[in-house]
Structure 1
Amino acid sequence: MKDQRSVAQQQVENDIANKIYNPMNDVLFKFIFGKDERKNITIDLLNAILNRTGKQAIKDIQFKNSEIVPYYEDDKLTRLDIFCITEDETKIDVEVQLINKKDMERRSLFYWSQMYLMGLNKGDDYITLNPAITINILGHKIFPNEPLHSMYSIYNIETGRRLNEDLELHFLEIPKFQKKPIGEMTRMERWLAYFSNKLNTEEMEELAMSDATIKKAVNDTDIFMMDFEERLKYINRQMAIMDYNTDMRVSREEGREEGREEGRTAGRAEMANNIALAMLKKNEPIEKIAEYTGLTTERIQELAKKI
């Protein structure tokens, strides 16, 4: 295990030396997208994902404490990756998730509900509630038949009418991103390319040259990596992700092998049953059938009842 971790650490170090970074590493993500001095990067990302342009575009945000205090002592503490409020009081939570814990849909709803109720005090009118949006940037697939970017809200099932704009749940399944010439990419696709880890060094440089905001994010990543403490947290997080993925792969392989062994066992049992049935039809003695097939006397007698 120690040797494996050393190899994993060396791999991460080599990637850093070659400026191959994982922007979905939550330590790096929060550094780039969760700081006041770089909020213009975050605003550009939000406008791209939410397709806000012109008068509808987000102009300013305020980052808030990402820990939402529960209403009751025994309630679950909510800790968001990035939590901000726009100039029109819309609350936005941005989450990055590389590990598939099979709970993202409900977790996203839970985070949304916590944000939506924030600031509503006893006696307040419900009209004071402001829209809340959760954006989930995922390093895995959860909706096999849906497009890369899916937005969920509340609609009338029969008419398709949307109840209101207070709820938006966005899911971006980054593995579904397909490369294309950078010059042909939309603003949204450029950000998807940035997160995808599918670009080589030259393509990443071209992407940065094509978009000033992404170039800023790339340059500030270099600054991040020069900070020893931040770099160490990034490496530890990458290794934790790699360890988890390795454990999951081993578990799946062991599960498949167990399944194959069960299949082989079932096949042998079925063959023994068929041979026993054939011998019973020829009135062979039960002792001989048991010796030949390995079946118990009781099992052979059960089979005999079928004839």
Structure 2
Amino acid sequence: MDLKVDYAFKQMFGSEKNKRITIVFLNAILKRTGRNTIQEVAFMSQEVGGEYKEVKQSRLDIVVKTQDQQMINIEIQLSNQHDMFKRTLYYWAQLYTSQLQKGMGYYKLVPTITVNICNFTVFPQNVDYHSTFHLYEDKTLKRLAIQDDVLEVHFIEMNKFLEQWHKGQLKPLDDILARWLLLLGMVDARKKKVYDKIFCELEELAMKDEHLLEAFNAWEELSLSQEDVIAYQSRLKYILDEEAKLEDVKHMAEQKGIEEGKKEEKEEIANNLLANNMDIDFISKITGLSVERIEEIKEGLIQKNDE
């Protein structure tokens, strides 16, 4: 299974039986070490919002609460729906405000973190595959409320990561996050391909990393479950179908834009020819516009001159 497909990702990193894997993965993403590490997580409801009928309800991929009561949302995105930034802020806001119960003071709100793992380019100008955002003051770049940083957003761009790995710019043996991202990048569902080179390196790394080995075993178990395979294939088909629809709409919009551009160009030519007293039938043959449309353009010119 391609772990970048949200169903497989949730089964791997969002289940109680794989909690240790989730904790190691989160510490790698958030660069938590020593006393700052996440030691325990509780999986939370993935439904946020919808308290009132008019409020949109969202289903997040994975939501956990740490031993420090921090909320972390992990989202995996196989396809680019071109709404990543607004969706991220909306999800973050819903999760952050969901903590506030009736009669509870604002001071009790704890930091909320969003992690987006994207199978597409989010920041074309950035070389790094891992970007982290907080709230800063524009001039001084001083972080807002540094002692209690309420907002933290991570973007991981898988295509940049894999490109750097293929170029030999990364050292997974010394980089825990790189190991886990290789796990996500080993299978490409669209191309129906397993990257043997990545598999060989992961196999070697797993001999030295017990958590990675545990993830390999969980992945294998997941891939052998007929029920999970059927659910995975169904979800993958839905994602690819939606992706195809988006491409069709985009193509239609582009074609419409071209046609509208051609029409405007033809009408501009008709305008110029009418200004030079050319015959309407002749203009129709030259531009392909109907006689009726050219007469409308001519009428418009007459009214403009009268004004």
Asked if the contact 1:34/1:82 (under 8 Å) is kept, the reply is yes
C-alpha separation in 1, matches of 2:18 and 2:53: 35
Deviations 1:107-161 (A, max 9, x none): 3333333333445444434333222111122233344334432222222222211
CA shift, 1:70, in A, is 4.9
Which range moves more in the overlay, 202-211 or 239-248? 202-211
Change (3 A) 1:260 1:111: closer
Aligned match of 1:36: 16
Q: What is the aligned counterpart of 2:47 among 67, 70, 73?
A: 67
CA shift, 1:74, in A, is 4.8
Change (3 A) 1:124 1:253: closer
Aligned match of 1:227: 225
Aligned residues: 278
Asked if the contact 1:290/1:300 (under 8 Å) is kept, the reply is no
Aligned match of 2:106: 126
Q: Are residue 192 (structure 1) and residue 181 (structure 2) matched?
A: yes
SS at match of 1:136: strand
C-alpha separation in 1, matches of 2:37 and 2:54: 39
Aligned match of 2:250: 252
Q: Are residue 154 (structure 1) and residue 152 (structure 2) matched?
A: no
TM-score by length of 2: 0.77
SS at match of 2:131: strand
Which range moves more in the overlay, 165-174 or 223-232? 165-174
CA shift, 1:32, in A, is 0.4
Q: Are residue 88 (structure 1) and residue 78 (structure 2) matched?
A: no
Q: Are residue 291 (structure 1) and residue 271 (structure 2) matched?
A: no
SS at match of 1:184: coil
TM-score by length of 1: 0.77
**Gap runs ≥5 in structure 1:** 1-20, 281-285
Asked if the contact 1:179/1:193 (under 8 Å) is kept, the reply is no
C-alpha separation in 1, matches of 2:109 and 2:47: 19
Q: What is the aligned counterpart of 2:158 among 169, 174, 178?
A: 174
C-alpha separation in 1, matches of 2:305 and 2:50: 65
CA shift, 1:50, in A, is 0.7
CA shift, 1:170, in A, is 1.6
Change (3 A) 1:179 1:143: closer
Change (3 A) 1:101 1:293: same
Change (3 A) 1:297 1:96: closer
Quote the RMSD (CA, aligned, Å).
Answer: 3.0
Aligned match of 1:236: 234
CA shift, 1:276, in A, is 4.6
Any residues of structure 2 matched to 1:203-222 within 5 Å, and which? 203-211=198-206, 212=209, 213-222=211-220
Change (3 A) 1:236 1:58: same
Asked if the contact 1:32/1:220 (under 8 Å) is kept, the reply is yes
Asked if the contact 2:46/2:61 (under 8 Å) is kept, the reply is yes
SS at match of 2:255: helix
**Gap runs ≥5 in structure 2:** 189-193, 285-290
Aligned match of 2:191: none
Change (3 A) 1:300 1:106: closer
Change (3 A) 1:25 1:193: same
Identity of aligned residues (%): 31
C-alpha separation in 2, matches of 1:133 and 1:100: 21
Change (3 A) 1:48 1:275: same
C-alpha separation in 2, matches of 1:122 and 1:291: 75
* 1:210 aligned partner, one-letter code: L
CA shift, 1:236, in A, is 0.5
Change (3 A) 1:119 1:254: closer
Asked if the contact 2:170/2:178 (under 8 Å) is kept, the reply is no
CA shift, 1:105, in A, is 2.6
Change (3 A) 1:208 1:297: same
SS at match of 2:182: helix
